[in-house]
A and B are shown apart, each in its own frame.
Chain A
Amino acid sequence: AQSVTQPDIHITVSEGASLELRCNYSYGATPYLFWYVQSPGQGLQLLLKYFSGDTLVQGIKGFEAEFKRSQSSFNLRKPSVHWSDAAEYFCAVALSGYSTLTFGKGTMLLVSP
């Protein structure tokens, strides 16, 4: 069955430290890949997306993600985390020609001083 897995439910990172959030997918072909962020009481905001081409994609707020076909992964990274990055992060995938995004269960990022 097709699925999206975010193995970490919670992650705590010190402010200024680097961040990596994991996302793995299980699909027959390379899907379209997305990362969204949800701040408390807000809807989801698109951080970045990968369709094809360069496997390292840059997004907003200093985030980047790398697609690794061999590992079926699309991990989100940031070199230096700010307190305002504390939020829940969702990985999502869509198959070309399909009309809905499938979301992972999310990773809650806590930033410690």
Chain B
Amino acid sequence: GAGVSQSPSNKVTEKGKDVELRCDPISGHTALYWYRQRLGQGLEFLIYFQGNSAPDKSGLPSDRFSAERTGESVSTLTIQRTQQEDSAVYLCASSQRAGGSYGYTFGSGTRLTVV
């Protein structure tokens, strides 16, 4: 597509429920990233996919967080047993290839509120 698409744009969930967030990257972009942005904070790296390589999960804050991506297509970030501290905007980005020389194109994010 023309840009990075994320859905839903807003999600309110009860504490303890599981949620799935979706990211549809730009067609042809092999690298896909998930970041978390909590109120008043910068962007916190969560996970990164590059093609069919094993993802870099080093930023996932706990085992309640997981993500999948099939090939170079859609990615899903799953948060199990949500907690109030999971409330944040979850941003997805894609880039043509991995590596610092390629800037990212970001989606508009999913605002998650855990009540």
Contact = CB atoms under 8 A, between A and B. Distances in A.
Interface of A: 31-32, 34, 36, 41-46, 49, 51, 90, 92-106
B70 interface: no
Given A43-B106, A43-B107, A44-B106, A100 B33 contact: yes
Contact of A43 (B4, B31, B45, B50): B4
Contacts of B108: 41-43
Given A43-B91, A46-B105, A99-B50, 11 more contacts: A34-B103, A44-B106, A45-B106, A92-B43, A94-B99, A97-B100, A99-B56, A99-B98, A100-B59, A101-B100, A102-B45
B1 interface: no
Contacts of A92: 43
Contacts of B62: none
Contacts, number: 66
A96 B100 contact: yes
B75 to A, nearest CB: 15
B92 to A, nearest CB: 8
A38 to B, nearest CB: 8
Interface string B39-54: 0011101001010000
